[in-house]
Structure 1
Amino acid sequence: MDQDSQASGNQKVNSGGLSGNLQGAFLLMLSGVGFTIYLLINKLISDEVHWIVLSFWRAVFGMGLALPFLMRRGLGSLKTKQFHLVFLRSVFGTLGMTLAIFAVSDAFELTLAQFNAISFTRPLFVTLLAAVILRETVGLHRWGAVFVGFLGVLVMVVPGVFTFWRPEALNGLGLDGGSFVALISAFSLAGAIVLVKFLSAELSPIALLFYANLLSTILLLPLALWVGAPISLENWGWIALMGIVGFGAQFCYIAAMSVGEASFISPVDYLRLPMSSVADFLVFRMVPGVNVWIGAVIIVVSTLYIGLRERVRGRQSS
């Protein structure tokens, strides 16, 4: 503190935290735009390009785009004593991203908005897996929020639950295939997120991103060769754009989390729901049903509460 500040009794306020949070919020919004475009391209070309082939080339482009950033840091940044965890994290990530592409493909009738709403369950799965894998202590409040969040999933993805009082509302009650695949995708990506907690102290975000795409390429190569089919020049352009946009969205997400407080900027990620709803309407003339919105609200509130409890817990421990 300088002498003038001491004499006046005033102190300089450090606005770096707010600036970082605003930067993080902006980057997370850009990430949401990128992921929306990424999923939209996926849905548009999935009737001509197999979803496994799409996932393979997404990883190839991601690996290629991450390489220049990695070279600037040096290949030594890839050194790790926990390669088994890096590999396991890549298996979870590959499964999650591949099933995400499958869920919004032409194989199902799942809208982009429905998929994004289901993807909001990741923090619920992270809490569950952190308790099992990391042995984190999860209190009654957070377990309650997890339970409420999964009730929101039930309202959103199982037809008839929200309107159970109506005659014949529960006829044919069941979980559609697209929603089930999206839930497995969210669970797998939550597993990858939990493992990053082990690895982030040793490996940089760009190293983790490179490893994820490199190992995904290796894991998916045999399947891509098995289902491979000729790809038109136009679709190659779409695949390249999909890879670039997907990498940019991942990079913006990692950068957002590195400059801002997760508890402050995470709510911005929920903008993916209205973004995808607009895309659904403009491109496919589809609007999410009321059960999707109500279920999504329940999930969002429960995950925000979990984030709030974790923030309070962190302050108490510090």
Structure 2
Amino acid sequence: MTSYNGWFYWALLSAAFAALTAIFAKLGLAGVDSDLATLLRTAVIILVLGAFVGYTGKWTNPMDLAPKTLGFLVLSGLATGASWVCYFRALSIGEASKVAPVDKLSLILVAVFAVLFLGERPSAREWLGISLIGAGVVVLGLKR
């Protein structure tokens, strides 16, 4: 078995928490505007992560970061915010069991962008897995 150096287990936990995010969000969106719900969720994230970073002593001045690093982190934050707004809007009008898998088209886009912008080269086996995810999304998206 391949040594994952810990990343695989963190990724599994991420998937589990992402699944809970969809379920809790769908339940929490009852009677609430999706944009307001996204704002409230973001406020919770800021408070909890701020406390965690402070408690673990990891706080440093963001202005001390290299401009390129800071710029990419800002762009990542903007993309995350846009993703969350769209995701919560989709959840507010669609079924979580359909919205979440379609959202995972991001997996295919990450692979393509990683090839184009990061120079990564997935193996044939990895492309097969990525393609199967894409096929699953298409099957879920087909009208009955």
Query: Is the CA contact (8 Å cut-off) linking 1:51 and 1:102 kept in structure 2?
Result: yes
Instruction: Report the counterpart of residue 65 of structure 2 in structure 1.
Output: 80
Cα separation, partners in 2 of 1:134 and 1:63, compared to 1, 3 Å: same
Deviation string 1:216-259 (CA, Å, 9 cap, x unpaired) is: xxxxxxxxxxxxxxxxxxxxxxxxxxxxxxxxxxxxxxxxxxxx
2:108 is matched with 124
| 3-state secondary structure, aligned to 2:65 | coil
Bigger relative contact order, structure 1 or 2 (CA pairs below 8 A, ≥6 apart): 1
Counterpart AA for 1:93: T
Q: How far 1:139 sits from its partner (Å)?
A: 4.1
Aligned to 1:40: 26
CA distances 1:152-187 after superposition (whole Å, capped 9, x unpaired):
322220226xxxxxxxxxxxxxxxxxxxxxxxxxxx
Structure 1: how far apart are the matches of 2:26 and 2:59? 34
1:163-182 counterparts in 2 under 5 A? none
TM-score (norm 2): 0.73
1:60 aligned residue (30, 43, 50): 43
What is the SS of the residue equivalent to 1:136?
coil
- 4+ residue runs over 4 A deviation: 23-30
Question: How many residues are treated as equivalent by the alignment?
Answer: 137
Distance in 2 between the 1:25 and 1:150 partners? 19
Cα displacement (A) at 1:140? 4.2
Code of the aligned partner of 1:54: A
The one-letter code sitting in structure 2 at the alignment partner of 1:35 is: T
2:76 maps to 1:94: no
Larger Rg: 1
Tell me what 1:69 maps to. Answer: 52
Deviation at 1:135, TM superposition (A): 1.8
Question: 1:77 Cα deviation (Å)?
Answer: 6.5
**Paired residues of 1:131 and 1:137 also in contact (CA < 8 A):** yes
Quick one: distance in 2 between partners of 1:147 and 1:83?
33
- TM-superposed CA distance for 1:94, in Å, is 0.7
C-alpha spacing 1:30/1:118, structure 2 compared with 1 (3 Å): closer
User: SS of 1:76's equivalent?
Assistant: coil
What are structure 1's unaligned runs of at least 5 residues?
1-16, 161-318
**Matches of 1:54 and 1:135, distance apart in 2:** 37
Q: Percent identity?
A: 13
Query: Which runs of 5 or more structure 2 residues have no equivalent in the other structure?
Result: none
- From 64, 79, 99, give the equivalent of 1:115: 99
Tell me if the contact between 1:42 and 1:101 (Cα under 8 Å) persists in the aligned partners.
no
Residues in 1 aligned to 2:131 and 2:87: alpha-carbon distance in whole angstroms: 24
Alpha-carbon distance in structure 1 between the residues aligned to 2:112 and 2:50 = 34
- Could you say what secondary structure the match of 1:66 adopts? helix
Deviations 1:111-165 (A, max 9, x none): 11112222333322221110112121234444444344323322220226xxxxx
Matches within 5 A, 1:123-272: 123-159=107-143
Equivalent in the alignment of 1:104: 91
Indicate the RMSD between aligned Cα atoms, in angstroms.
3.3
* Cα deviations by residue, 1:70-116 (Å, 9 ceiling, x for unpaired): 223153164421110000110111111111100010xx2x2111122
